[in-house]
Amino acid sequence: MVLSLCAVLLARGSDVQDADKFALGGIGVAGTISKGESALRTILGAPDAVTQLEKMLPHGTDAGRLYILVGLRMRDRSAYKRAFESYAKHDSTVETVRGCMISRESFQMLMREIDRGNFDILLKQPPR
């Protein structure tokens, strides 16, 4: 049983760390949550969520780093600020999904949205 739980947490971690797109809130016609958001929610429910997220950050894809930043902002503002500063000059574009719209957005623009708390409400709502 413990091995199964560890495997689930590792799989969830890789779903965040290796995410190929950033999508929070309902997406697609059915308005379901993305695999990355589902994984982030699972990690945020763990007592060691901040430690898990901090360990994943340097190894994450750009989309994964955005999920991790959102999670750190929700759980530990000091850890979030440190992480935010370390990517303050990083620039790239990230595939995003908002509702039914798929696009590419600036990593920096998305970081500003995270810093303003624009995604907090989406994680505070129950998943669909």
Residue 5 reports pLDDT greater than 90: no
Q: Which residue has the tokens 């955005």?
A: 66
- Amino acid identity, position 60: G
Residue 27 burial by CB count (10 A; 0-12/13-18/19+): exposed, middle or buried?
buried
Nearest to 80, CA basis, from 104, 88, 126, 109: 88
Domain carrying residue 24:
2-124
Please give the tally of structural domains in the chain.
1
Whether pTM exceeds 0.85: yes
Phi-psi region of 96 (alpha: psi -120 to 50; beta: other; left: phi over 0): beta
Q: What is the DSSP string of 84-97?
A: HHHTTT---EEEEE
**Which pairs from 52-58 meet CB under 8 Å and 24+ separation?**
52/9, 52/13, 53/16, 53/79, 54/79, 54/83, 56/13, 56/16, 56/17, 57/83, 57/86
What confidence tens digit (pLDDT) does each residue in 46-99 have?
999 999 999 999 999 999 999 999 999 999 999 999 999 999 999 999 999 999
Separation between Cα atoms, residue 28 and residue 32, nearest integer Å? 7
What confidence tens digit (pLDDT) does each residue in 101-127 have?
999 999 999 999 999 999 999 888 887
